[in-house]
Amino acid sequence: MRYLIDFLETKTVENSIIFEHLKSTKQEAILLKEITQQYISGSVEVVVLDTLVTQFGDKKYSHIKQLPLVKNLLDQGWITLGAFVNLKIAETSNLELLNSTVTLSSSFLKLLEDGTLDMELPEVVPYKDHLEYLKDQFLRIEMYQKLSLNKQNAINISSLNSKLQLLESRILARVESSEIDIAIEKIFTDFELNQKEQVIFLALLKEEYASEFESLRDMNTLVNLISVDDYEKIKNRALLEEGSKLVEEEIIDYDEMLNGFGGVSRSFFISEELLQKIMHPNKEKKAKKIKLDMLIQNQELFELVDPKTTLDDVVLTPKTRELLDNLLKQVDRNVMKLLREWGVKEGRGGIDAKIIFYGPPGTGKTMTAYSLAKSMKKRVLSFDCSKILSKYVGESEQNVRAIFDNFRDLAMKTKSEPVLLLNEADQFLSARTTDGGSGADKMHNQMQNIFLEQIEKFNGVLIATTNLLETIDGAFSRRFDYKIAFEKPTLKQRIELWQKLLPESAVYEESFSIENLAKHELSGGQIKLVLKNCALRVAIKEEPIFSMEDFVSAIKREKAGVFGEEKSMGFVSI
């Protein structure tokens, strides 16, 4: 600890051994010395106001005049803001710092201990195993982190950049001279990842191996790691967006959760398949992942759906949206960890939920099911429950088992977790007869008992849609975690539906009014159908202009064509 003692005991601070490494002014070094003195006396964090008064006094506000010294030391990276100070250094004024707390940075503590910030770089010798390689790459990520933290006014930033470039060239030389196969390098080659994509990948890998705080998983941190200025930050966000190579080719994935400000934050991680290849490079996988599309082609039970809309595209009541958002929060890693610790959830699987969507036809139950799956980044295996009845005795019961057996088989073979959607499940869920009844009633009860048994054992996300909840057997109702009503839209929601659906590029007459259109009580499905019929009519006009008369005429025809209950259009929900 001779550098620490020298720094504290040397009367003229600029004569201390570490002063040349600070690149600070004499006054800044004096203030740093005062904070160091308090640190070794037990005050890990110190109040800026108290420290300035102790060092410079408060006569004629002399301590206030020294606030720029604190800001400079923060910019240089020798001190950091206290753990509970919610300020961004670059955007903080000097006066905001006055009643804040600060502490010595890890960089400065290293300087006090070692007398230098120089890193020991590896020798250019072949790698013996992948762990040696990982050690160098993680050192590389640490250097990127230091550059990222000190971009505003970095200490010896050019020196740090030079060392990073030297480290990268040594890693490359070691890889080229190595005889062993390095799984990570093969991934970089196979996917043709550029340098920035490689850094993102390695940063996430470092989190898997070495981090307890998961500090490198959010988008802003990863983007800052590879960006030198604000323009690059905007540009580099594309590397982590939908459609990017890293996400599109399933190299990395992300969980989404609502943050405290009402927005959605993403936590990124390396795909499980690639992670296994890296962590267990010598272990051959016994099963290969088979594409779900290939298996679906050879069966007639399910329809495979790739949803196109998310929950943001659906008009929902606030209560329904809150329920579905809470369901989506199950993918958050911290939530999953707690559920496993409490024994509520077993294993490392994703969301487990059994859901009933109930309400009149045309209110968007099916679309919402697809949109929920899209928001979970899942595909859908849809089954039309009207196909289940059979005139042959015993075959309906076998068909019920086949739904779940085939679903489990497809999910296992493809190592995927699609959503199971049971459309028009009324006959499965209706109340069972208790007075014996006819032979048909007994077979129906038997089919329902099998269905009940299969729901009990189901793992994953199952959504059943039905028109009436009142007829549902209580035993089924208890097996579902969420029962969500879909009602016909209110005036306000009909306005929102029309606003979402009306084409922006179309021309409308001057007297056109969405509010007047919304006064007609239509379901979401009917609104879509009315718009389609109206658009066909307008498109053949010499002057294709939408008028209120066109819409009112289409609405009247739609209402006149409805027999009893509203038609099933399967569109936007409320």
Q: Domain coordinates of the chain in residue numbers? A: 2-114, 130-279, 292-485, 491-560
Task: Extract the tokens encoding 416.
Answer: 């995927």
Integer Cα distance of 367 and 525 in angstroms: 10
By DSSP bridging, strand 507-508 and strand 545-546 are: parallel
574 pLDDT tier (thresholds 50, 70, 90)? very low
pTM more than 0.85:
no
Average pLDDT, the chain: 82
- Contact yes or no for 245/194 (Cβ under 8 A): no
Q: Distance between CA 562 and CA 362 in Å, rounded?
A: 12
For residue 518, the surrounding DSSP H or E stretch is helix 514-518
- CA separation for the pair 374, 305 (Å, rounded): 10
The most distant pair of C-alpha atoms in the chain lies apart, rounded to whole Å, by 103
Question: How far does CA 558 lie from the centroid of its chain?
Answer: 41
CA 436 to CA 498: how far, in whole Å?
50
pLDDT of residue 376: 85
Residue 266's Cβ-count burial label (10 Å; 0-12, 13-18, 19+) is: middle
What CATH architecture applies to the domain 2-114? Orthogonal Bundle (1.10)
pLDDT for 117: 67
Q: What is the structure's pLDDT at 327?
A: 79
Beta carbons of 32 and 108 less than 8 angstroms apart: yes
Q: What is the DSSP letter of 430?
A: B
Between CA 49 and CA 379 the distance in angstroms is 57
pLDDT band at 313 (very low <50, low <70, confident <90, very high): confident
Three-class secondary structure of residue 337 per DSSP: helix
**Chain centroid, CA 475 distance in Å:** 35
The H or E element spanning position 254 is: strand 252-258
Do 130-279 and 292-485 agree at the fold level? no
User: Quick one: angle between helices 26-40 and 48-56, nearest 10?
Assistant: 120
Coil/strand/helix, residue 107: helix
Of 29-43, 305-319, 357-371, 466-480, the range with the lowest mean pLDDT is 466-480
Beta strands in 10-110 (DSSP E): 46-47, 79-81, 101-104
Confidence band, pLDDT 50/70/90 cuts, at residue 570 = very low
Number of H helices, E strands in the chain: 27, 13
Listed in order, strand segments (DSSP E) in 380-498 are: 380-384, 419-423, 461-466, 482-485
155-176 confidence digits (pLDDT tens): 457 667 878 888 999 999 999 9
% the chain with pLDDT above 70: 82
Closest of 23, 47, 21 to residue 35, by C-alpha: 47
Rounded distance, CA 498 to CA 508, Å?
A: 14
**At which residue do the structure tokens 């981090």 appear?**
211
496-553 pLDDT, tens digit per residue, is: 999 988 998 999 999 899 999 999 988 888 898 899 999 998 999 889 999 999 999 9
Q: Just give the CATH number of 130-279.
A: 1.10.10
Confidence of residue 390 (pLDDT cuts 50, 70, 90): low
One-letter amino acid at 531 equals L
Q: Which 8-state DSSP code applies to residue 218?
A: B
Q: Is residue 358 within 8 Å of 469, Cβ to Cβ?
A: yes
Contact 35, 108 (CB under 8 A): no
Task: State the amino acid at position 146 in one-letter form.
Answer: K
Q: Which residue has the tokens 């007869």?
A: 433
Is the pLDDT at 198 greater than 50, yes or no?
yes
Angle between helices 130-149 and 157-177 (to 10 degrees): 160
Residue 558 neighbours by CB under 8 Å, 6+ apart = 522, 526, 529, 530, 533
Among 120, 104, 121, residue whose Cα is nearest residue 22: 104
Residue 470 has which token pair?
Answer: 């009142």
Confidence class for position 110, pLDDT limits 50, 70, 90: confident
- Per-residue DSSP letter, 164: H
- What CATH number is given for 491-560 in this structure? 1.10.8.60
- For residues 562 and 530, give the distance between their C-alpha atoms in angstroms, rounded to a whole number: 13
Backbone angles phi, psi at 275, to 5 degrees: -60, -40
Burial class (CB in 10 A: 0-12, 13-18, 19+), 361: buried
CATH class of 292-485: alpha beta
Percentage of the chain lying above the pLDDT 90 cut: 33
Residue 153: what pLDDT?
A: 46
> Is the torsion defined by CA of 492, 496, 499, 502 positive or negative?
negative
What pLDDT is recorded for position 172?
93
Alpha-carbon span 153 to 143, nearest angstrom: 16
Q: What share of the chain is helix, strand, coil (3-state, %, to 5)?
A: 55, 10, 35
The answer to whether residue 230 scores a pLDDT higher than 50 is yes
Alpha helices in 211-332 (DSSP H): 219-225, 230-236, 245-248, 272-279, 292-296, 318-328
Cβ-Cβ contacts under 8 Å for 334 (sequence gap 6 or more):
none
Residues contacting residue 392 through CB under 8 Å, at least 6 positions apart: none
Report whether pLDDT(12) > 70. Answer: yes
Q: Given this model, what pLDDT does residue 8 score?
A: 93
Tell me, what's the pLDDT at 205?
92
What is the 3-state secondary structure of 340-374?
A: HHCCCCCCCCCCCEEEEEECCCCCCHHHHHHHHHH
For residue 394, the 8-state DSSP code is T
Mean pLDDT of 207-211: 75
Asked if residues 175 and 165 have their Cβ atoms less than 8 Å apart, the reply is: no
